[in-house]
Amino acid sequence: MDILILDDEKEIADLVELYLKNENYNVHKFYDYKLAINYINTQKLDLAILDIMVGQVSGFEICKMIREKDLNFPIIFLTAKIEDVDKIYGLTLGADDYITKPFNPLELVARVKSALRRYTKYNKKEKDDNIYIEGLEIDKETHKCLLFGKEIELTPIEFDILLYLANNRGCVVSSEELFEKVWKERYLDNNNTVMVHIRRIREKLKEDTKNPKFIKTVWGVGYKIEK
């Protein structure tokens, strides 16, 4: 697995590199955003760890660039910024996780492994029946989503959320259940991650925010897709 690290704090980047190499990952470390962007544009990656503030370009901009290129590998932000608005903005751009400094390197490694498991599962073809819901087609074999025949670009985590809701059509799924089933981590009461990802999925499905066709909100309970 090839992992890119971009952080202009050399001590932090070196520490992350050390722990990831101990797990036998191929690590490509950069202190300069220009070199990192060039690598992203020319090489295959399985995951990127981005600092938010790296010189004249922010990690947010790099994340946006990656997603606009339809590159779906996981992105983890590693930063000293801790405000909820920053976390939500990063997730809205397509990031998968967010770790604040100072951090426990073992926790970082655990989150990297979790993100890579999801990514590997997303790219692995498993033969199964497709799901059809009023013009929406979820292809389990190719892990693609089509809306009236047009492919919708979803990140691995967005696909897993949509698939879980589709597999539980007619049932209300709480934010806690969604988070723990998709992220494989314990849910916290103040966690806005599920809400932000649901919003992104709805945007990609061209949903009417006041009356969504596919993913319904059951206020105070959770989300569901009707049968």
Cα three-residue angle 126-224-215, rounded to 5 degrees: 85
pLDDT tens track for 101-138:
888 999 899 989 989 988 877 665 544 468 888 889 89
- Would you give the distance in Å from CA 15 to the centre of its chain? 23
- Considering Cα of 195, then 196, then 197, then 202, what sign does the dihedral take? positive
Reported in sequence order, the residue ranges of 22-104 that DSSP labels E, i.e. its strands, are: 26-30, 47-50, 53-54, 57-58, 75-79, 97-100
Q: What is the pLDDT of residues 189-221, one digit of tens each?
A: 666 889 999 999 999 999 887 888 899 999 889
Torsion of CA 28, 120, 180, 50, to 10 degrees: 20
Tens of pLDDT, residue by residue over 55-97, are 788 899 999 999 998 898 999 998 876 666 777 888 888 899 8
How far the first Cα of the chain sits from its last, in Å, is 39
CA atoms within 13 A on the CB side of 224: 13
d(CA 87, CA 196): 10
The pair phi, psi for residue 68, each rounded to 5°, is -65, -25
